[in-house]
Amino acid sequence: MSTSLIFLITVAISAVFYIRYIGVNFTLSSLLLGLMLILHGPLYLYYTRVWGPETAFFTTILFAAPKWEVIPSLDLALALSFCGICAGMVLSDSVFGSSRLKMQDAISSWSRETVRIPRGVAERIEVVAATGVMVLVFFIVVENSIPHVITYFSSDAFEFEKIAMRREYGGSRFYLLNLLNNNVFPYVAFCCFVLLREDAIRLKLVAYAFIAVVLFEKAATLSKAPLAIFVLQLMVVEYLRRSLRVRLGVVLGFVAICIVLFGAMTAVAVREVSGISATLDFLFYRIFMIVNESLLEYFAAIPNVLPHSWGSQFSWLVSSLQSQPSPPTYLLVGAVHRGVTGSTTTAMFIADAWADFSWAGILCYSVLAGFLVRWLDIQLILKRGKTAATIAGLALGQYGVFIMLSTALQTAMVTGGLVLVVPLTMGISSAFKWRSTKGHSKSFNNMARIEQA
């Protein structure tokens, strides 16, 4: 049986599992498996069999290893990843006492419930937001970020010049601040947004100011994606206030907004691309093709040119124990195919799993990814229900899933904030478990909004 057929059968089974077991909704499980099917399902075959072979870089990538070795290996790796993700979700349900029916009931109840805001939540958010505004404004001034943002977004410089600007001035010089800007601060901004929409916060100006400075920090990365993604996250938060279900009209509207938003960001950040047709072609490549191209780069370079690291680059701890730590994998892979040091190649989490631990890494990382996102759904949706904290947690978790599908799993857990979702939710809500309000009247739900956590 050819690897193409194995891949297609696995994708078909995963699609059935997705529709019947997970469902099309705004849970993290649905987002992970749904995006996997979209980005690395039939479009993967289209890239490796049709679109890629017509490009010069595809041939350059395959110079590192024979085509008949790389493509079949990648077919099987993606098939194994689909199986591992599905298995991890089922395992998580089994371990934590959940099931398909329980999750479906919780998703249905979400639409009927009002957003519950326990006593003290708004006050805590006000304190955190006020502190955050002062901290972020201080760093914006100290790092002279405003002129850099204005120069970047108003400049007529070409893409490579803007890349140089991003490397020189993008983000903060302080790692901790960059980390907080990726996960904790957006989480608090989502809470502020929910409280504003629910008219449940007194210091509205503080909440608006905090959302504004977080939005500016996204722009200060000097990259089009973080700013656009944060705006989209706020739109998703607004929708999550009402429902977790996905309707066709919502999907079409969301896709249209994504095209307009990312098209506008492309027009600003990539001056070489002009016109609707060129912009759409550019977005198609950057969204759908490059994610599979990057995977191919990893599997062509490893182990044919670069050996499996077997955990030598798995964490900062291992690197700190080495007298001369080797460069990160994304730099090494980029150098293999482009011939220059400094060019980076990042791909979805199975790429680093392959680089670190070969086939065992792909299986283990995939099971862990599916297990983790399903556990987060259980904690947020099934056990806690619709609150300002859980809505913000889902939005942060969705960002972590996007990071997972563009870089390493450990990066998604830390930088993407997946390991912070539950602690942040607990810290804001001061509750480990919510009582369900299913079937109760609206008046009771209104009372529950101010109940003691």
Per-residue model confidence as pLDDT tens digits over 387-426: 999 999 999 999 999 999 999 999 999 999 999 999 999 9
Residue 371 lies in a domain: no
- Say if residues 308 and 357 touch (Cβ distance below 8 Å): yes
Domain final position from 330, 362, 394: 362
Domain final position from 347, 362, 377: 362
Residue 259 lies in a domain: no
Residue 370 lies in a domain: no
Report pTM.
Answer: 0.90
Residue 453 lies in a domain: no
- How many domains does the structure of the chain reveal? 2
pLDDT (tens digit per residue) in 364-385: 999 999 999 999 999 999 999 9
Indicate the pLDDT class of residue 163, thresholds 50, 70 and 90. confident
- Same domain (yes/no): 391, 287: no
- Same domain (yes/no): 130, 235: yes
245 — phi, psi (to 5°)?
A: -80, 150
pLDDT > 90: what percent of the chain?
68
- Same domain (yes/no): 166, 148: yes
- Same domain (yes/no): 125, 193: yes
Residue 255 lies in a domain: no
Indicate the pLDDT class of residue 266, thresholds 50, 70 and 90. confident
For residue 320, what pLDDT is reported? Answer: 47
CA distances to 144, 181, 185 from 211, rounded to whole Å, are: 20, 12, 9
Q: For tokens 């077991």, what's the residue?
A: 21
Residue 372 lies in a domain: no
- Same domain (yes/no): 294, 218: no
- Same domain (yes/no): 68, 139: no
CA atoms within 13 A on the CB side of 447: 6
- Same domain (yes/no): 131, 52: no
Tell me if residue 173 falls in helix, strand or coil: coil
Residue 172 lies in a domain: yes
Residue 261 lies in a domain: no
Which residue has better confidence, 277 or 275? 277
Measure the CA–CA gap between 49 and 54, rounded to whole angstroms. Answer: 9
- Same domain (yes/no): 127, 207: yes
Buried b (16+ CB within 10 A) or exposed e, 127-159: ebbbebbeebeebbeebebeebbeebeeeeeee
- Same domain (yes/no): 29, 105: yes
Which residue has better confidence, 250 or 372? 372
For residue 317, what pLDDT is reported? Answer: 47
- Same domain (yes/no): 287, 324: yes
For residue 93, what pLDDT is reported? Answer: 98
- Same domain (yes/no): 357, 442: no
| Domain coverage including residue 73 | 3-112+273-362
Largest CA distance in the chain: 68
pLDDT (tens digit per residue) in 86-120: 999 999 999 999 999 999 999 999 999 999 988 88
Q: Highest mean pLDDT range out of 146-160, 314-328, 393-407?
A: 393-407
Q: Which residues contact 189 (CB under 8 A, 6 or more apart)?
A: 210, 211, 214, 234
Lowest mean pLDDT across 39-53, 202-216, 417-431: 417-431
For residue 437, what pLDDT is reported? Answer: 39
Over residues 141-157, the mean pLDDT reads 87
